[in-house]
Each structure stands twice: as structure tokens, then as C-alpha cells.
Chain A
Amino acid sequence: MAELVVAFDTCGPVIGVAAASETAVATRSERIRRGAEGRLIPWAQEVCAELGGGLDDVVGVVAARGPGAFTGLRVGLSAAIGLAIALDVPVWGGDSLTTRRSTAPDGRVLIMLDARKQRVYACAFDGDQMVVPPADVAPEIAVAWMKAPFTATGEGAVVYRQVVEAQGGTVVEEADAPATEALARAGWSAIRAGDGRRPESLEPLYLRPADAKPSRRGRLTRETKRRS
């Protein structure tokens, strides 16, 4: 039976699960607002079956660590951690931006994911060389990294198409599945190369702090109330 790697990608509005063997990849994906936790495990079983195996044949588990939707990325990471512990196999985490390089055209490429609040998670490549690492920036800042002509891809490029085109860029819309496929292929290579790690070490990549402010300290009295 072929050895398989299972990949979970839940960072964006399109979630996906893929199984990769040395020669093939099977995927499931769906554009979804909520409910990823109900899809991942049945899909994992299905994609393994599609490649002629089952979860018992999995030799490594892969997850997109982010950046992306906070809640979404944690669903995929948690599933990956749980599956890897149960199967006693290593994990490997890819990031949701650089993984997309392999599915984009050659040349200068800006990868943008919609980060809401008028911002994008973005990174830039010149050929295979990463020239700007993943960052949480305004779309105008991201496109300013690029020299025209360039290609922009990812959900953020679609959302901010006008900003990209104003800078001389061309938006290339990606199909839903390739990002998960690319993650699974990258994970397959990493796991086979011995780069897998213990499941507990799999950490999210947020790029953005939680929105929380420390509470005001001090005992409530007439005086402190007057000062507030």
C-alpha cells in the first residue's frame, strides 16, 4: 500500500483537504463560511480512499499554519495535531502564502490573501526568490513592493483587483483546489525529507495580534470613579 500524506488547509474562505502519494494527489475543497470542523475528517477518509488507502497508510500530516482566518486556521491545525498523535506520525506546517508560489506563473509574483479591515496578508517573489516575507499590510503597501509588470494571485488580489491593476499588475485567479494540492505536495516532500516534527510543536502563524486591551486597574472608589 502506498504511503500517504494528508493535508488540511482551512486558512481562507476555501477550505481543502488533500492526500498525496509519491505519484498522485486527491483533494476535496469547498467555499464555506463556517462548519469546517464537520468536513475535514470525512474528507480525509475520502481522499485517502481515492488514492487506494486509508488513514492507516498516512505517514505524515500537514497543515496550513496561516496566515488567514484565526478560527479557521486553528480548526485545521487542531485536526492535524489530533490525527498525527493518533497515528503516531510527524506533522509539517506550511504557510498559506508561500505555498501558493508553486501554483503561480513565473516572474514577479505578489501573493495576497484578504485579511479584512482593509488589509492583506502578502508576500512577494521574484522568480523563486522570496523578496518580501509574509506580512500584514494595506493592499497599497503590498503592491508598492512590486515593479510592473507582475502577477498577483490569491483571494486578496481578487478583492483588491483595482489596486493591483493601478500598479501595473495582472490578477490571476486561482482555482480552489491547487492551494491545498500544493500544500500536500510540499508536505509530502518535507515529510519524506525528514522535516516532520512532533505534533505538539505545530504552531499557528497569525501575523496579527489578538484584539484585546488590558483592563484598567485600581479599586473602585469615589475618587477613582471621578478620575475615570
Chain B
Amino acid sequence: MMSGVITFYSSQQVMKAEKILKNYNYEELLIPGPREISPNCGVAICFDYSKAEEIKELFKKEQILYEKICYYPEAKKISKWF
């Protein structure tokens, strides 16, 4: 179940991150960036928060510049829809 969100400074990095998450078969969904979490890029990525640490490692390895990876209860509602 998706329960976390990753925010970014730039949509270019979102596109790179999305591609990598897909390649590694992580559950992901692009959503309009939640402003209560970040004023930055217009798009964020919802994911399963239990995978947060491994995704951080993956982003480090792949040199993905993200802003925050955090718990996002709202994502559970999103999970029910998709």
C-alpha cells in the first residue's frame, strides 16, 4: 500500500526517478505535488513508505536529486482509488 511521498525540486528529476522506480518494479504513482509538504515541483511520487530506505539508497546510487521522502497518510486514500 502506498503511504509515502517523494518530492522533488525539478520535474526533470521526477521523470528520471519515475523511470528508475519502474525499472526496479517499485509501486509508484505520479501525483500533483502536495503543497503542505513542499512548495517545489508540481509533481511528486507516491510510493510504499516501507521501502523508503532502499529507495533512498537507490536514488543515491542513481544520482537522483530529490527534496524529501516522507510518510504521507493521504497516499492511503489514493491507494484506494488506483
Decide whether A and B are members of one complex: no
B residues with a Cβ closer than 8 A to A are none
Residue positions of A touching B, CB distance < 8 A: none
